[in-house]
Amino acid sequence: MPQKVTIATVARHARVSRQTVSNVLNAPHIVREETRQRVQEAISALGYRANQAARQMRTGRSRLIATRIEPTRDGINGSVLDRFLHGLTDAAGVAGYRIVLYTAADDTAELATYDDLLGAYDLDGFVLTGTDHGDPRTAWLAERGVPFVTFGRPWDTPDQHPWVDVDGASGAAQATNRLLETGHRRIAFIGWPTGSGVGDDRRSGWRTALRAAGLDPTDLDRETSDGIVQGEQVARNLLALPDPPTGLVCASDSLALGALRAVRALDRPVAVTGFDDTPVAEAVGLTSVSQPLGRAAARCMDLLTRILDGPRGDGPHQVLLRPTLVVRQTA
Amino acid sequence: MPQKVTIATVARHARVSRQTVSNVLNAPHIVREETRQRVQEAISALGYRANQAARQMRTGRSRLIATRIEPTRDGINGSVLDRFLHGLTDAAGVAGYRIVLYTAADDTAELATYDDLLGAYDLDGFVLTGTDHGDPRTAWLAERGVPFVTFGRPWDTPDQHPWVDVDGASGAAQATNRLLETGHRRIAFIGWPTGSGVGDDRRSGWRTALRAAGLDPTDLDRETSDGIVQGEQVARNLLALPDPPTGLVCASDSLALGALRAVRALDRPVAVTGFDDTPVAEAVGLTSVSQPLGRAAARCMDLLTRILDGPRGDGPHQVLLRPTLVVRQTA
DNA sequence: CCTTGCATCTTGAACGATCCAATCGCGGTG
DNA sequence: CACCGCGATTGGATCGTTCAAGATGCAAGG
């Protein structure tokens, strides 16, 4: 049973005072080089690790960042957050932080959880995902001066806080352009009801791309809630038009999967693209828009540490990343 | 800017000593009822929350539990861990713990991370997932007396530590029996190479079910690494036999998806079942074995808190849960 | 009336780090 | 030779909590 190694142990071993050891760790430049090395050797010889609890008590900083883990609603889209979370954990580790998870049934419960996490664990900051119009969470956090970054744009308030997002319009445009390049002229969009920031963004990309090609998007724009069944129904509907589309750009892989089912019933080929490049897309060979989740997570941590670790060279506080189109069999 | 509320603030407000407040929180039975209520009122009136860092420094307990988040290897199976993680976070919250994430490139890095987490954050325990034969992690942790639970059986050493697992043999047997009940007599198994605990377990379930029905599994047992392409290839091979199987029990949804592709090329119907009931299975209508991940996570936390929060009524330290078969179109 | 025991509550110290103010050594200056 | 300035180092106080030991009050027992 090895004795506990504290800063005092290291100090004795290197024949300096505790404060000098502390300085070596927190302000190396004010310690003479020779002394610094001696202390460093003692640290690694003894396997010393600063006790976070003690440090936190004194400094009020925990080096802990919270993020929420969702109850895998759809199951398909869940994997997006899963991958983001992995990237976040990685990036946090590099920056010397750790990710703490929490769940919340609804918004009220979530705010209560914030209070708890801040009060009991002295969390340094939050990473929020899936923000939508009029999100109460950002206001709550901003009000209390808690550092946070959102993955997802604040759709109402312009740039009140740091965020990272993926350009959904660009993604949808890329998918649409791919179809245009392969000769399609009648390209429909299957998306969510207007009103959701993410959904409207993707829709606008499709619309813009069509218009840029001199085509009219009227009649080809459909709205439905997310899901395979819904996608199939809407797609069937579209394909029964007098002048049916030959390409379907979908706002999610779930919708695209449904669309694929509708297409399979036909004898003519219809191109389909999805969104998010979920494992399902890869499995069934669905062309889909892939979000750079690892990079997004890294940028989130970057923005957050910039706030936490003091005013470093500024750079932008808002980051918009471009997704890429992964071309497979369906388009 | 509200003043920080400490145990001393509460003590003053309730006109008792700090220690009495502490007792109300940690050992309510030794405080007079009347006093207890007065303190409780002060606590809620002031919105007091015990500072974890200070508590941790004194007790050496952090109420933090670590678990690893994997780099979504296959992508399909990733969602299993995702759902488990969500359940774990929930269960931990109820028990008054929080989940901290970490990643690790390889086993050596993982052990180093353990050291770091224990040294710096004083973690209370670990939940390990995906244990396999001769896992170095369990030995390392056990050696140092660190509390941990594994989700997944230790396949070599019999019951050295608490674990929770899902009965893969039962799952495969259920899938096999379903096919037997619907009239199938030639039922093949597509699994992973022998040597992996999980894979062998599932294979044995299929074999046992066949034997119990008086059927001979010889010739119908196949081994391949996980993946859609691999599944397709092996299935095609099986279906080309002189006396081909009419049902395919697969060790994973990935393999089953591949098998489905092979089947689609045929004109006769062949039943296929998968394993893990991933979102993909639901998406394509694949019959699959569903693991009770939420319950598994809850049992993990239960076993862990039993170790951490002192000797409660024992009960078993090993839990084997039964999966259920989700019947869809493919079988 | 004093002792004993029990229940209840209070006081001082400790956990391990950082912050603060004071001290030390040392070469240069008046 | 006393003094100064400056960088490097030191000891003490501090964060908020729990532990260990001591104090208090009350009732029963001798």
How far is the C-alpha of A329 from the C-alpha of A172, rounded, in Å?
Answer: 18
Q: Which residues neighbour B104 within 8 Å (Cβ) at sequence distance 6 or greater? A: B68, B110, B113
- Candidates B69, B75, B90; nearest CB to A79: B75
Task: Please state the length of chain B.
Answer: 331
- Candidates A56, A62, A83; nearest CB to B72: A83
3-state SS of chain A? CCCCCCHHHHHHHHCCCHHHHHHHHHCHHHCCHHHHHHHHHHHHHHCCCCCHHHHHHHHCCCCEEEEECCCCCCCCCHHHHHHHHHHHHHHHHHCCCEEEEECCCCHHHHHHHHHHHHHHHCCCEEEEECCCCCCHHHHHHHHCCCCEEEECCCCCCCCCCCEEEECHHHHHHHHHHHHHHCCCCCEEEEECCCCCHHHHHHHHHHHHHHHHCCCCCCCCEEECCCCHHHHHHHHHHHHCCCCCCCEEEECCHHHHHHHHHHHHCCCCCCEEEEECCCHHHHHHCCEEEECCHHHHHHHHHHHHHHHHCCCCCCCCCEEEECCEEECCCCC
Environment class of B263 (CB within 10 Å of its CB; exposed 0-12, middle 13-18, buried 19+):
buried
How far is the C-alpha of B54 from the C-alpha of B56, rounded, in Å?
Answer: 5
How far is the C-alpha of B289 from the C-alpha of B274, rounded, in Å?
Answer: 6
Between CA B39 and C1' D22 the distance (Å) reads 23
- Asked if residue A273 lies in contact with residue A235, where contact means CB atoms within 8 angstroms, the answer is no
Q: Is the pLDDT confidence value at A330 over 60?
A: yes
B17 C-beta less than 7 Å away from strand D: no
Selection from B178, B78, B20, B100 nearest residue A80 by Cα: B78
How far is the C-alpha of A189 from the C-alpha of B104, rounded, in Å?
Answer: 41
Distance from CA of B211 to the nearest CA of A (A): 33
Give the per-residue pLDDT at B311.
62
**Interface mutation vs chain A, best among B280, B282, B288, most A CBs within 10 Å:** B280
Between CA A12 and C1' D11 the distance (Å) reads 15
Ranges of H-type helices in B17-70: 18-26, 33-46, 52-59
A324 C-beta less than 7 Å away from strand D: no
Give the per-residue pLDDT at B9.
93
Between CA A57 and C1' D25 the distance (Å) reads 38
Q: Find the Cα–Cα–Cα–Cα dihedral B80, B82, B83, B84, rounded to 10°.
A: 80
- Asked if residue A164 lies in contact with residue A303, where contact means CB atoms within 8 angstroms, the answer is yes
How far is the C-alpha of B197 from the C-alpha of A156, rounded, in Å?
Answer: 52
Beta carbons of B69 and A54 less than 8 Å apart: no
**What pLDDT, in 10s, does the model give residues A111-147?**
999 998 998 899 999 999 887 777 889 989 998 989 9
Cβ neighbours of B56 in A, within 8 Å: 53
How far is the C-alpha of A88 from the C-alpha of A200, rounded, in Å?
Answer: 26
A30 C-beta less than 7 Å away from strand D: yes
A19 C-beta less than 7 Å away from strand D: yes
| 3-class state of residue B30 by DSSP | helix
Pairs of CB atoms within 8 A across A/B? 148
Selection from B223, B217, B326 nearest residue B274 by Cα: B326
Give the per-residue pLDDT at A196.
86
B54 C-beta less than 7 Å away from strand D: yes
Report which of residues B74 and A263 the model is more confident about.
A263
Point out the nucleotide closest to A20 (alpha carbon to C1′). D9
A324-326 and A287-290: which strand pairing?
A: antiparallel
Most confidently modeled range among A180-189, A304-313, B46-55, B133-142: A180-189
Question: What b/e string do you get for B234-251 counting C-beta neighbours within 10 Å, with b at 16 or more?
Answer: bbbebbeeeeebbbbbbb
Distance from CA of A213 to the nearest CA of B (A): 34
- Taking CA–CA distances from A62, the nearest residue in chain B reads B53
How far is the C-alpha of B259 from the C-alpha of B262, rounded, in Å?
Answer: 5
CA A8 from centre of chain = 42
- Domain A64-166+292-322, CATH: 3.40.50.2300
- Domain B64-165+293-321, CATH: 3.40.50.2300
Between CA B59 and C1' C10 the distance (Å) reads 21
Give the per-residue pLDDT at A312.
59
Cβ neighbours of B283 in A, within 8 Å: 76, 228, 254, 257, 280, 284
- Candidates B49, B50, B82; nearest CB to A72: B82
Task: Please state the length of chain A.
Answer: 331
| 3-class state of residue B89 by DSSP | helix
Give the per-residue pLDDT at B277.
92
Give the per-residue pLDDT at B81.
83
| 3-class state of residue B247 by DSSP | strand
A6 C-beta less than 7 Å away from strand C: yes
The residue to which tokens 């078969």 are assigned? B325
- Domain A168-290, CATH: 3.40.50.2300
Q: Which CA-bearing residue is nearest the C1' of D8?
A: A31
Selection from A247, A260, A187 nearest residue A219 by Cα: A187
Between CA B94 and C1' C17 the distance (Å) reads 31
The residue to which tokens 């399979």 are assigned? A264
- Candidates A69, A85, A119; nearest CB to B49: A119
- Asked if residue B187 lies in contact with residue B215, where contact means CB atoms within 8 angstroms, the answer is yes
Q: pLDDT class for A278, splitting at 50, 70, 90?
A: confident
Between CA B132 and C1' C23 the distance (Å) reads 60
How far is the C-alpha of B120 from the C-alpha of B124, rounded, in Å?
Answer: 12
Cβ neighbours of B116 in A, within 8 Å: 49
Give the per-residue pLDDT at A281.
87
How far is the C-alpha of B326 from the C-alpha of A301, rounded, in Å?
Answer: 40
CA angle B321, B326, B327 (to 5 degrees): 145
How far is the C-alpha of A213 from the C-alpha of A207, rounded, in Å?
Answer: 10
How far is the C-alpha of B132 from the C-alpha of B216, rounded, in Å?
Answer: 29
Give the per-residue pLDDT at A1.
47
- Sorted by where each begins, the domain ranges of chain A are 7-50, 64-166+292-322, 168-290
The one-letter amino acid at B265: A
- Tell me the mean pLDDT per 10 residues along chain B, length 331: 82 93 92 92 93 92 92 63 90 94 88 90 92 83 92 82 95 98 97 92 97 95 92 96 96 93 91 92 90 96 88 75 96 86
Q: Which residues pair with B319 in a beta bridge?
A: B164
Q: Find the Cα–Cα–Cα–Cα dihedral A219, A222, A223, A228, rounded to 10°.
A: 160
B4 C-beta less than 7 Å away from strand C: no
| Domain range B1-46, CATH class | mainly alpha
Please indicate whether the domains covering A64-166+292-322 and A168-290 agree at the CATH topology level. Answer: yes
| 3-class state of residue B314 by DSSP | coil
Range B178-181, long-range pairs (CB < 8 A, 24+ positions): B178/B273, B178/B287, B178/B325, B178/B327, B178/B331, B179/B247, B179/B249, B179/B271, B179/B273, B179/B331, B180/B209, B180/B213
- Candidates A83, A101, A257; nearest CB to B283: A257
How far is the C-alpha of B275 from the C-alpha of B324, rounded, in Å?
Answer: 10
Between CA B124 and C1' C8 the distance (Å) reads 33
How far is the C-alpha of B183 from the C-alpha of B179, rounded, in Å?
Answer: 7
Fold of A7-50: 434 Repressor (Amino-terminal Domain) (1.10.260)
Q: What's the mean pLDDT when you consider all of chain A?
A: 90
**Strand D contact residues in chain B (172-231), C-beta within 7 Å:** none
Selection from B54, B66, B308, B249 nearest residue A55 by Cα: B54
Distance from CA of B260 to the nearest CA of A (A): 11
Give the per-residue pLDDT at B73.
57
What Å distances lie between residue A294 and A33, A321, B52, CA to CA? 38, 11, 31
Name the token pair of B184. Answer: 């199938």
**Strand D contact residues in chain B (58-87), C-beta within 7 Å:** 58-59
- Taking CA–CA distances from A72, the nearest residue in chain B reads B83
Residue B197: its H or E element: helix B197-212
Give the per-residue pLDDT at A164.
95
- Candidates B56, B74, B82; nearest CB to A53: B56
Distance from CA of B213 to the nearest CA of A (A): 34
- Count H helices and E strands in chain B, helices first: 13, 12
Beta carbons of B103 and A89 less than 8 Å apart: yes
